[in-house]
Amino acid sequence: MHLKEELTPKQIVAELDKYIVGQREAKKAVAIALRNRWRRQKLPEDLRDEIIPKNILMIGPTGVGKTEIAKRLATLVGAPFIKVEATKFTEVGYVGRDVESIIRELAEASFKMVKAEKMEKVKEKARELAEEKILDYLVPPKVKRYGTFETFEEESSPARERFREMLRKGNLDDRTVEIDVEEKGVSVVGGVIAPGLEDIENQLKDLFSNIAPTKRKRRKMTVKEALRVLQQQEAEKLIDMDEVASEAVYRAENFGIVFIDEIDKVAGKSSGSSPDVSREGVQRDLLPIVEGTTVSTKYGPVKTDHILFIAAGAFHLSKPSDLIPELQGRFPIRVELQALSKEDFVKILTQPKNALIKQYKALMTTEGVEIEFTDDAVEAIAEIAEEVNEKTENIGARRLHTILEKIMEDYSFEAPDLKGQLIIIDEKVVRSKLSDIIKSEDLTRYIL
C-alpha cells in the first residue's frame, strides 16, 4: 500500500480537518481504525489473522459529514472504497439486491484502482508504442520482396521522422486516420430487467466478457483520439492482468472500506408484518459478510474478515439497540456526530480546501468575473441555513448548496455578459436574493 498509510492518528485527523468541519470524535475513531490496520500488517502472520477490524457505527443527522469522513479516509491511503445504502437490499425472497454484490463491487473498485496504478507505470512505454502505430498509419512501411516473400521495412525514414516531430508538437491532432480498435465481442440480449436481477445480469456480462474473443474493428477518428485509444490498448498489453486481479483481491481483503448508509432504515423489531420481517432479514443477510465469509468475484474469492465496515444512520425513528444483537456486536465503536450550528456553517463556507465559496469563485473566474463575499454575507448565509434547518427537515451542510445556488443563480446566468467585473456580495444582497425564503412560512416550497 501507499506510504501514506503510515500516517499517525493525529496526522489523519489533521488531513480530514482540511475537508470536514468539526466532528472530532468521529475523525478520531476512524483514525484509530486506520492506524490499527497499519499495526496489524507489522504482526506475525498467525497473530495478524486473529485481529479483526473494529467496525464503526456513525450516528447523526444527514449532511453532517458521515459519508465524507469515510470517503476522505479511503482517499487518504488509496484504499478500495464503496458506499451502499442498506435500503437497497432485502432478504432472500423479497425483491432487492444480493448483499454479496457489495463485496463484488468492492473487488471491482479495487481492480480499477490497481489497474490504473499499473497503467500509469507503463504510460510512457505505451505512448511510444502508440506513436509508432500512428506513424505506421500515416507513413506506411515500405514493402520489400525477396523472391516470393514480402517483408516490411521498419527503419526510420526522413518522412517518418518529420511526421513524428509534427505528431509530438500536436500539429496532426485534427487529422483523421482509420485505425483498428480492439473490442470484446460481448452481446447481451436486450429487454427489461426485472427489479432485483441487475446483479445477475452484471455477472453474466462479466462471465461472457472473460470468454468472448477480442474483435478488431476499423474506425475513423482524429489522430489525437487515436493516440489515446492506442495508448490505452498498448498499456493493457504491457500489464499482467492476473497480477492485477491478485493484487486487487489482496487490497480488497486487507484494506477495503465499505460504507453502509441508512442502516437505521433497516433497524426495528420484528412484529410479524412483512416490512419488519424484511428489515430484519436485511440485517441477517448483512451479518455474514460483516462477520467474515468468502464471496466469489470475477477476480477470485474475497475473504471479508478484515474489511472495515462503517455503518451510518440518523436514527430519528429508531435507535442502535433496535438492530439485531448479532449485528450490534459487529459494530463495537459508536460515534455520535453533532448537528451543525451557525458557526459550523461559517467554517464550512470558508475554511475547507473545497469550501463552497471557493468553488463558486473559481467557477466564475472561468468567465472572467470576480466574486467577493463579505464577512457579513457569509454570516447571513450561515444564519439562514441554520434557521431553515430548524424550521424544516435538518439536512445539514447540504442546505448551503441550495442557498448559495439561489444567491448565485442570476450571476451564473449572466456571467458571460459580466466579463471583467468585480461583484461584491454583502449581507444586503444575500437577504435580498433570499427574501422570499426568509418571509415564507412554507420554507419547503423554496428549498427542498
Averaged over 398-410, what is the pLDDT? 89
pLDDT in tens, 301-355: 999 999 999 999 988 888 888 899 999 999 999 988 888 888 888 988 988 888 8
Structural domain contains residue 252? yes
Contacts of 221 (CB under 8 A, 6+ apart): 176, 177, 179, 229
Averaged over 167-193, what is the pLDDT? 67
Indicate yes or no: pTM above 0.85. Answer: no
Are residues 226 and 307 located together in one domain of the fold?
no
pLDDT in tens, 262-312: 898 888 654 444 445 577 888 888 999 999 999 999 999 999 999 999 999
Measured CA to CA, the distance from residue 224 to residue 167 in angstroms comes to: 9
CATH number of the domain enclosing 167: 1.10.8
Contact between 27 and 13 under an 8 Å Cβ cutoff? The reply is yes
Are residues 7 and 101 located together in one domain of the fold?
yes
Are residues 347 and 332 located together in one domain of the fold?
no
Are residues 250 and 109 located together in one domain of the fold?
yes
Averaged over 406-435, what is the pLDDT? 90
C-alpha cell at 21: 468541519
Structural domain contains residue 36? yes
Average pLDDT, the chain: 81
pLDDT at 271: 46
Are residues 364 and 324 located together in one domain of the fold?
no
pLDDT at 147: 55
For residue 140, is pLDDT > 80? no
C-alpha cell at 69: 469522513
Measured CA to CA, the distance from residue 336 to residue 350 in angstroms comes to: 24
Place 133 in a pLDDT band, splitting at 50, 70 and 90: confident
Structural domain contains residue 192? no
Structural domain contains residue 205? no
Say which residue the cell 472473460 belongs to: 210
Return the exposure string of 219-239: e unless at least 16 CB atoms fall within 10 Å of the residue's CB, then b: eeeebeebbebbbebbbbeeb
Residue after which a domain boundary falls, among 301, 318, 336: 336
Are residues 128 and 234 located together in one domain of the fold?
yes
For residue 187, is pLDDT > 60? no
Say which residue the cell 485481529 belongs to: 51
Structural domain contains residue 105? yes
Say which residue the cell 427489479 belongs to: 195
CATH number of the domain enclosing 421: 1.10.8.60
CATH number of the domain enclosing 69: 3.40.50.300
Residue after which a domain boundary falls, among 336, 358, 373: 336
Contacts 24+ apart (CB under 8 A), 167-174: 167/131, 167/134, 167/135, 167/138, 167/223, 167/227, 168/131, 170/224, 172/138, 172/223, 173/222, 173/223, 173/224, 174/222, 174/223, 174/224
Measured CA to CA, the distance from residue 298 to residue 48 in angstroms comes to: 26
For residue 179, is pLDDT > 60? yes
Structural domain contains residue 204? no
Are residues 31 and 127 located together in one domain of the fold?
no
- Please say whether the dihedral angle defined by the alpha carbons of residues 363, 365, 371 and 375, taken in this order, is positive or negative: positive
| Helices and strands counted in the chain (H then E) | 18, 13
Structural domain contains residue 278? yes
pLDDT in tens, 245-255: 999 999 999 99
Averaged over 133-152, what is the pLDDT? 65
Are residues 218 and 275 located together in one domain of the fold?
no
Are residues 99 and 127 located together in one domain of the fold?
no
Are residues 151 and 60 located together in one domain of the fold?
no
Are residues 354 and 302 located together in one domain of the fold?
no
Residue after which a domain boundary falls, among 220, 238, 256: 238
Structural domain contains residue 79? yes
pLDDT at 105: 94
Are residues 67 and 29 located together in one domain of the fold?
yes
For residue 166, is pLDDT > 50? yes
Place 194 in a pLDDT band, splitting at 50, 70 and 90: very low
Parent domain of 386: 342-438
For residue 185, is pLDDT > 80? no
Of 95-99, 135-139, 421-425, 429-433, where does mean pLDDT reach its minimum?
95-99
Contacts of 140 (CB under 8 A, 6+ apart): none
- Please say whether the dihedral angle defined by the alpha carbons of residues 236, 242, 243 and 245, taken in this order, is positive or negative: positive
Q: Give the number of domains in the chain.
A: 3
For residue 223, is pLDDT > 60? yes
